[in-house]
């Protein structure tokens, strides 16, 4: 009896050992997410059983999903971008000012958002890829620039009152069959916002692009080993440039989705979003060293973070600092797990080489 | 004839290039630029007046005094940041949060559980020592992640960058204790009878200690060797992990000193605003000092000078009514300009352009 179980265990261990880093880290995340959700349902009551609870997590984090996708892309390529939070704030403030003070329309605001994102992506990508400056320094400067520009564009926070925009903001997409009965026994439909659709589309598109297109595979190759990628004839500089360009563009889209969710402009919007995006990517199994990562994992990373925040607030630790501390603790944990995995792989590789 | 005429030119050129390649040239040039700009815009920038403060003690006031006052904590941070940068090739972005934590600990020890105690609950020196220990523990946390777990410095310190201010609020249960003791305000203000702000003296003490440590111990040499090449340092019998770890702990010490000054200025603390964006300034000071942000050789004096130049820039911007929130945009532009100018690719192009220009000048001169 014990023999078979140990054999089964070693078989499982073997299968885990055979998994690529990408799949291993991603499955850890998904398992952690599921376990946490089950635990929440078991210990915190049926609030977590309602599908709307899940959809609210999606609604509130649609922009973060998009930002994290961009972040994962850059991190797979071996870089990092910490300007995304600043860009989000800048986009929402610019769009708000454009809509309310310059009589703009929603389409123009969308173009503005994309333009800001693209501009950041272009400049940062050029500096990082072609002038060979450390990505952290460039994007740190980008973050401070975006935050500063936000206050220069407009100082005080305000709510947008453009009608067409409000209509779009309040648009709800009903999810069939998943509604629930409220306390009075009335059936309430479950809904998601437009931003969620955008986020899910982007997740799907990026997942396919990274898996099956040549450019997508180039990101992995460059992140894994720049030198070998160069030997294989990949245009390393252009790939790096492209990753930052896409990240900037996604930050623009994410900023607009964020704006659509909150409907206001403020210099303190999306504070720490870059941190959350990096944390989600890392929790989702993207390695800081590059070359390893998966967009589906990133999606679950974002959802894990959202779930932790939900759990922390429903346990009753509703002071603002607990969220920051728990996220940082979780990030720390996953970083250490990653570094241990890397060290073990290295050891195994050197043993195999011998 | 032509030979004789070229010789002094080349000598002069050599002197010029040696000056241009000296590390101190960047901060000094930036300082001169700012000075000239202020002289043209408004010479009253440099006026220093002797007045009395609310307590009736003589104090100097003026923009220059503000610079050496507020530049001091930045300079102290720049010392630690230079070491960290040189050893690990990355920067610690959690210093602002670290200052919030150490300030919070300081207040917690001084005030106990009361929010406005009549008398101090502990001597200032004890509170400061506790705060130093805590700050060094947080430095050790960062250092352990960087040195032993081999996580990129900026990502490892990102953890505290986010959690730090939350932890600081947590330590004091989100209350804002106020210290009413007068002696506590000396550290960030003025000691009665001395018209120069105290932070400047604290900074001077730190400079002397740093100078002595770098002069009489091998720390500086080891840090540089680890930064230049970790593998060869190990082969030479150094322990690169340990040295990286030590630099982060030392940065923790600097953070604690800054925390003391910052809290003493206000006699209280504001968790989300205290030392906001100071990590940017500290990194900028190191970069402006001409130190490579990717690690290796460093020049401590240049970093310290860089810190004061940054404060000069900040004060100048404030004088022209730039909002404090918008400051970061201008500084970011300066950072980008600096790193672009110091990028190897750009340097090569510039020097080849310079060569082309001088050779053309020479060929234009030679026929006459």
Residues forming a β-bridge with B302: none
User: CA nearest A324 in B: which residue?
Assistant: B163
Classify burial at B36, counting beta carbons within 10 Å of its beta carbon; exposed 0-12, middle 13-18, buried 19 or more.
exposed
Q: Quick check: A131 and B174 CB within 8 A? A: no
State ipTM: 0.75
Nearest to A50 by CA among A209, A242, A191, A255: A191
Residues forming a β-bridge with B49: B61
- Hey, which residues 330-359 in chain B have their CB within 8 Å of chain A? 330-333, 335-336, 339-340, 343-346
Contact between A247 and A240 under an 8 Å Cβ cutoff? The reply is no
Q: How far is A37 from chain B (nearest CA, A)?
A: 24
Contact between B87 and B146 under an 8 Å Cβ cutoff? The reply is no
CA A25 to centroid of chain Cα atoms: 16
The counts of H helices and E strands in chain A are 14, 4
Q: How far is B270 from chain A (nearest CA, A)?
A: 14
Interface size between A and B, measured as CB pairs under 8 A: 133
Could you tell me if A152 lies within 8 Å of chain B, comparing CB atoms? yes
Q: Quick check: B159 and A137 CB within 8 A? A: no
Measured distance CA(A108)–CA(A88) in Å, rounded: 17
Measured distance CA(B365)–CA(B368) in Å, rounded: 6
Q: What is the 3-state secondary structure (H, E, C) of B40-85?
A: HHCHHHHCCEEEECCCCCEEEECHHHHHHHHHHHHHHHHHHHHHHH
User: CA nearest B335 in A: which residue?
Assistant: A141
Q: Chain-wide mean pLDDT for chain B?
A: 85
Measured distance CA(A325)–CA(B162) in Å, rounded: 8
Give the CA dihedral A302, A306, A308, A314, nearest 10 degrees.
-170
pTM: 0.81
Measured distance CA(A57)–CA(B29) in Å, rounded: 53
- Substitution target from A85, A122, A133 for chain B, most B beta carbons within 10 A: A133
**Architecture (CATH level 2) of domain B63-321:** Orthogonal Bundle (1.10)
Q: Is the Cα torsion angle A149, B344, B15, B288 positive or negative in sign?
A: positive
DSSP 3-state assignment of A193?
strand
pLDDT in tens, chain A (354 residues): 344 444 445 566 666 656 666 677 778 888 888 888 888 888 777 677 777 788 888 888 999 999 999 999 999 998 889 899 999 999 999 999 998 888 778 888 999 999 999 999 999 999 999 988 888 888 888 988 998 899 888 888 888 888 888 888 888 887 776 666 666 767 777 788 888 999 999 999 999 999 899 989 999 999 888 889 999 999 999 999 999 999 999 999 999 999 998 888 888 887 778 888 988 888 888 887 788 888 998 999 999 888 888 888 777 766 667 777 888 888 888 888 878 877 877 788 788 776
Q: How far is A180 from chain B (nearest CA, A)?
A: 36
Q: How far is B323 from chain A (nearest CA, A)?
A: 8
Tokens for B333?
């532009």
| Residue B292: DSSP 8-state | -
Q: How far is B171 from chain A (nearest CA, A)?
A: 10
Please tell me which of the candidates A133, A145, A151 has its beta carbon nearest to residue B343.
Answer: A133
| Residue A264: DSSP 8-state | E
Please tell me which of the candidates B154, B332, B343 has its beta carbon nearest to residue A144.
Answer: B332
The shares of helix, strand and coil residues in chain A, as percent rounded to the nearest 5, are 75, 5, 20
From start to end of chain A, where are the E strands? 158-159, 172-181, 187-193, 264-265
């Amino acid at each position: 009896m014990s023999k078979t179980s140990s054999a089964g265990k070693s078989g499982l261990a073997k299968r885990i050992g055979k998994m690529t880093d990408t799949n291993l880290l991603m499955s850890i995340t998904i398992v952690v997410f599921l376990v946490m959700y089950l635990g929440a349902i078991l210990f915190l009551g049926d609030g977590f059983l309602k599908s709307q609870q899940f959809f609210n997590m999606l609604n509130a984090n649609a922009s973060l999903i998009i930002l994290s996708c961009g972040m994962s892309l850059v991190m797979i390529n071996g870089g990092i971008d910490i300007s995304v939070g600043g860009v989000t704030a800048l986009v929402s403030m610019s769009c708000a000012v454009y809509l309310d003070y310059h009589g703009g329309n929603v389409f123009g605001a969308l173009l503005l958002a994309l333009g800001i994102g693209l501009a950041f992506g272009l400049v940062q990508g050029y500096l990082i890829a072609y002038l060979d400056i450390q990505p952290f320094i460039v994007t740190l400067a980008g973050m401070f620039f975006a935050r500063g520009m936000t206050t220069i564009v407009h100082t005080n926070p305000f709510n947008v009152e453009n009608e067409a925009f409000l209509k779009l903001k309040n648009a709800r997409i009903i999810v069939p069959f998943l509604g629930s009965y409220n306390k009075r026994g009335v059936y309430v439909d479950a809904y998601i916002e437009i931003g969620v659709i955008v986020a899910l589309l982007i997740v799907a598109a990026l997942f396919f692009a990274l898996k099956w297109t040549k450019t997508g595979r180039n990101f992995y190759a460059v992140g894994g080993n720049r030198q070998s990628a160069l030997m294989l004839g990949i245009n390393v500089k252009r790939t790096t440039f492209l990753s930052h360009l896409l990240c900037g563009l996604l930050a623009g889209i994410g900023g607009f989705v964020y704006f659509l969710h909150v409907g206001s402009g403020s210099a303190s919007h999306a504070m720490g979003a870059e941190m959350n995006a990096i944390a989600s990517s890392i929790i989702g199994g993207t390695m800081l060293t590059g070359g390893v990562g998966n967009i589906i994992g990133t999606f679950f990373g974002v959802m894990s973070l959202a779930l932790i925040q939900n759990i922390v607030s429903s346990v009753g630790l509703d002071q603002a600092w607990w969220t920051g501390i728990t996220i940082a603790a979780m990030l720390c944990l996953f970083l250490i797990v990653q570094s241990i995995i890397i060290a073990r792989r290295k050891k195994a590789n050197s043993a195999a080489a011998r | 004839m032509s030979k004789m005429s070229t010789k002094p030119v080349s000598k002069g050129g050599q002197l010029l290039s040696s000056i241009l390649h000296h590390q101190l040239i960047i901060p000094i040039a930036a300082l001169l630029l700012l000075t000239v700009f202020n002289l043209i815009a408004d010479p009253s920038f440099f006026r220093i007046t002797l007045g009395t403060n609310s307590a009736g003690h003589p104090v100097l006031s003026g923009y220059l005094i503000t610079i050496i006052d507020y530049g001091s904590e930045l300079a102290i941070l720049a010392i630690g940041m230079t070491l960290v940068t040189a050893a690990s090739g990355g920067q610690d972005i959690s210093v602002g949060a670290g200052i919030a934590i150490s300030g919070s600990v300081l207040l917690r020890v001084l005030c106990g559980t009361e929010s406005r105690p009549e008398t101090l609950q502990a001597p200032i020196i004890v509170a400061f020592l506790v705060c130093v220990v805590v700050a060094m523990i947080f430095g050790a946390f960062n250092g352990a992640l960087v040195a032993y777990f081999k996580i990129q410095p900026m990502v490892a310190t990102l953890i505290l960058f986010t959690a730090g201010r939350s932890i600081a609020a947590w330590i004091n249960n989100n209350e804002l204790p106020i210290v009413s003791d007068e002696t506590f305000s000396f550290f960030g203000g003025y000691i009665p009878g001395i018209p120069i702000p105290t932070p400047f003296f604290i900074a001077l003490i730190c400079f002397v200690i740093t100078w002595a440590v770098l002069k009489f111990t091998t720390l500086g040499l080891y840090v540089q060797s680890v930064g230049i090449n970790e593998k060869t340092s190990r082969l030479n019998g150094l322990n690169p992990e340990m040295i990286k770890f030590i630099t982060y702990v030392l940065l923790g010490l600097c953070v604690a000193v800054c925390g003391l000054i910052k809290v003493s200025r206000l006699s209280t603390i504001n968790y989300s605003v205290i030392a906001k964006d100071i990590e940017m300034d500290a990194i900028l000071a190191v970069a402006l000092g001409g130190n490579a942000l990717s690690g290796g050789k460093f020049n401590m004096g240049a970093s310290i000078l860089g810190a004061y130049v940054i404060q000069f820039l900040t004060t100048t911007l404030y004088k022209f009514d730039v909002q404090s929130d918008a400051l970061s945009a201008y500084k970011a532009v300066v950072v980008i300009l600096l790193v672009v100018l110091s990028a190897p690719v750009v340097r090569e192009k510039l020097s080849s352009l310079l060569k082309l220009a001088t050779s053309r000048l020479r060929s234009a001169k030679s026929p006459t």
